[in-house]
Amino acid sequence: MPTKNNGVEYESVRPSIEVQLSVIIVNYNVKYYLEQCLESVHRASQGLQVETFVVDNLSSDGSIAYLRERFPEVAFIENKENVGFARANNQAIRMSSGKYVLLLNPDTIVTEHTFSDFIHFMDSHPEAGGAGAYMLRADGTFAPESRRALPTPFVAFCKMSGLAALFPKSRLFGRYYMRYLDENEVNEIEIISGAFMFLRREALDKVGLLDEDFFMYGEDIDLSYRLLQGGWKNYYLPCLILHYKGESTEKSSYRYVHVFYEAMLIFFNKHYGKRYRLLGQIIRLAVYARALVDMWQRFVQRVRVRLNCPARYEVPGYIRFDLDNTTVKEMLERLHNQPHGKRLWIETFSSTTGKIIRPGEVLDWEGEES
């Protein structure tokens, strides 16, 4: 039976044995991507003591009703309003009991060995407060946000001015994405992506949970920074996961632009505002200018779509994977190891779900051979 905690309804499935890992996923209207994610979580949990929480921020696509029967081992928390990413994660963190906590986006897929690899690493590195993964984009290429540096005033200036793009390998100008580090090696980093944020509970107990002033975006940067301030180290592990990126957020609206750049300002004012008042005003103007540019680009794109203009970037095609008959590890390695040049985008299908899932698109599967 559903249980209520501070007015929030959730399914209580807390185990009585010691939990190694608590997986927490915040969902908003992406039930088919979330279904794929939960299936991969189930596979990765084999042989481990794992508890999984899904916090639903008032989805309108019937996510909970659709998934509850399919994943009875998952604790579903149903919010009566969209409380934002930080607050939703904190709800589940407070209810969880794992030695480690993984904040995971619903539009990700982890491999069968992801959890065991990260648990082993964290167990053998007691100084680690958190760790992030090698995230693949839909075409199998490395997602640069897998590892980032703190957005100090200078680093933020280089990012927004384009210097980071001009000198991506520079330790001075290209620090934001830390491209000078080998993506195939374990490295100390500063910012762990909120799409896959593997955290030590002891560290969370000392530095605090996510700052709920951040509605969406920026809370991962803030928490990563507080981990470093608390004396912990943050790491990047070259363990492959897939991140469709953006399926769980609406990126075409003014609200997205406003929330994203407002989060950057919240972080700057919180950590640097008092020391860099003049520079803070410059950063604020730069953020607003960048937001206006982004909004204009989105407006132009919508006009092009309505006028049936050809897209600037065409998808070259898809590489299909049968999730019923392949491992996630094999799938991601094949996606990642495509030859350079024209790369295919991932699409998955399963007879269990009856859906073909692509980046930004879910189709009915007719049962044809792959």
Q: Which pLDDT score, from 0 to 100, does residue 43 have?
A: 97
Residue 17 has pLDDT above 80, yes or no: no
Q: Where does the pLDDT of residue 340 fall: very low under 50, low under 70, confident under 90, or very high at 90 and above?
A: confident
Give which of 212, 172, 225, 175 is closest to 83, Cα–Cα: 212
* Structural domains in the chain (count): 3
pLDDT digits (tens, 9 = 90+) for 312-339: 445 569 999 999 999 999 999 999 999 8
**Domain identity same for 214 and 324:** no
**Domain identity same for 237 and 278:** no
Minimum mean pLDDT among 15-24, 35-44, 81-90: which range? 15-24
- Are 227 and 234 in contact, with CB atoms under 8 Å apart? yes
Residue after which a domain boundary falls, among 243, 274, 291 = 243
Residue 174 lies in a domain: no
CA distance 179 to 190: 13
Give the domain extent around 117.
Answer: 2-147+183-243
Residue 155 lies in a domain: no
CA distance 116 to 151: 31
Count the neighbouring beta carbons within 10 Å of the beta carbon of residue 147: 27
Residue 209 lies in a domain: yes
**Domain identity same for 138 and 28:** yes
Tokens of 301: 């794109």
Residue 171 lies in a domain: no
Q: Which pLDDT score, from 0 to 100, does residue 233 have?
A: 98
Nearest 5°: phi and psi at 102? -115, 115
pLDDT digits (tens, 9 = 90+) for 192-242: 999 999 999 999 999 999 988 775 677 898 999 999 999 999 999 999 999
State the average pLDDT over residues 16-20: 82
**Domain identity same for 78 and 192:** yes
CA distance 118 to 127: 14
Q: Which pLDDT score, from 0 to 100, does residue 304 have?
A: 66
Residue 313 lies in a domain: no
pLDDT digits (tens, 9 = 90+) for 260-298: 666 666 667 666 666 656 555 666 666 666 667 666 766
Q: Where does the pLDDT of residue 172 fall: very low under 50, low under 70, confident under 90, or very high at 90 and above?
A: very high
